[in-house]
A and B are shown apart, each in its own frame.
Chain A
């Protein structure tokens, strides 16, 4: 748990929190939401509210009869031990990668197999369901990510360092939610390399010719 994360300024949006609570988001977005919430008590509390709404929606539905032997079958299932609690995977404290992300990456910043994507920027694509994609980005301090627009929604969560774009400054714990209207050129601040977790439900669209060609090969 990071205790110096009290200054988070950019939070998750209502549709994201509601979608996570309802279980309707792509896995890649769920990963960004769960990672941000691990760093942000405000959004954790807000999520609890959306989950409470979900509970009341469920309570409000017309009940559907269960099988006659459902209770007996459930007790048998419990006795079988098939649904016994599995021990959770051990997570490292004070990593740059909060718990949910540790389940997706094997190692720490310097031991990961980063792939260069040009301009000094490296990425590591994480394996998730195909309805959206998510990657770690490593942007060297002082470097700009090529100007790009978006077809769908792009979530960028800062894990270390900070970047600034036309919208604002985004530091550790901040999440930028960008849609089709935003063309931006994020620039990493001096100091630590900027490490971000970025998810999108459509391919990014780079404006310069070279990045766009590169895009076909590296699959940004």
Chain B
């Protein structure tokens, strides 16, 4: 187990990209620390460092940290999406193995570790639970940055943290609709039938919730 201090130290020690001399300086985000819980952003940066450790050193201790935090949440997501406990367990292990194998694809300027693991879990859900082929968009022509800009990475982790906090503070009825839409346990029409709310109301509540999230992110 990493202690709190060693986590912090590791996050501080995030390797400064060798191209950080402005040669290909990307536009920097403003520091928005005033609105953000810095401790939680530090936690997110610690996950980034752990993914890097897996990528660069096949670091099993770092992987164990990620596993301990994310595997139970991936399993929960898969069960809420309709997987039996056994299937969810099997898929969770496959999702975490994919994290190891695709660590070189992770780009902290494009996604938080939580977002990235969610997309891996979502993909596995389509493969195994829905048994469909999975069309994926073309990669951008410039591909992942060899050395992502650290300020951009921190900015994105902060924004994702803000999003998570905004989601947690949505009114209950809105948050539940968003959750159910993501778990895919029910279609909008099924939710309408179950709650007795007209379909239009369901859709406008989801829209309202998303608008609220956007507003918080501004």
Contact = CB atoms under 8 A, between A and B. Distances in A.
Interface of A: 1, 14-15, 18-19, 21-24, 26-27, 30-31, 33-35, 37-38, 44, 47-48, 51-67, 70-71, 73-75, 77-78, 82-85, 91, 98-101, 103-104, 128-129
B102 interface: yes
B72 A64 contact: yes
B112 A55 contact: yes
Contact of B101 (A53, A85, A91, A101): A85
B89 A67 contact: yes
A48 B160 CA distance: 11
Contacts, number: 190
Interface residues of B, number: 71
B3 to A, nearest CB: 20
B89 A60 contact: no
Contacts of A58: 73-74, 76-77, 114, 117-118, 121, 182
Contacts of B115: 48, 51-52, 54-55
A14 B210 contact: yes
A75 B75 CA distance: 17
Given A64-B88, A66-B75, A74-B96, A128 B114 contact: no
A34 B126 CA distance: 14
Q: Say whether chain B's binding surface is mostly helix, strand, loop, or mixed.
A: helix
A60 to B, nearest CB: 6
Contacts of A31: 135
18 contacts: A1-B138, A18-B182, A23-B130, A27-B135, A48-B115, A51-B118, A53-B163, A57-B183, A58-B77, A66-B75, A70-B67, A70-B89, A70-B93, A71-B68, A71-B71, A77-B93, A78-B101, A129-B131
Given A53-B167, A91-B138, A66 B133 contact: no
Contacts of B184: 22-24
Q: Which 6 A-B pairs have the closest CB atoms?
A: A63-B72, A24-B184, A55-B115, A55-B118, A99-B138, A34-B135
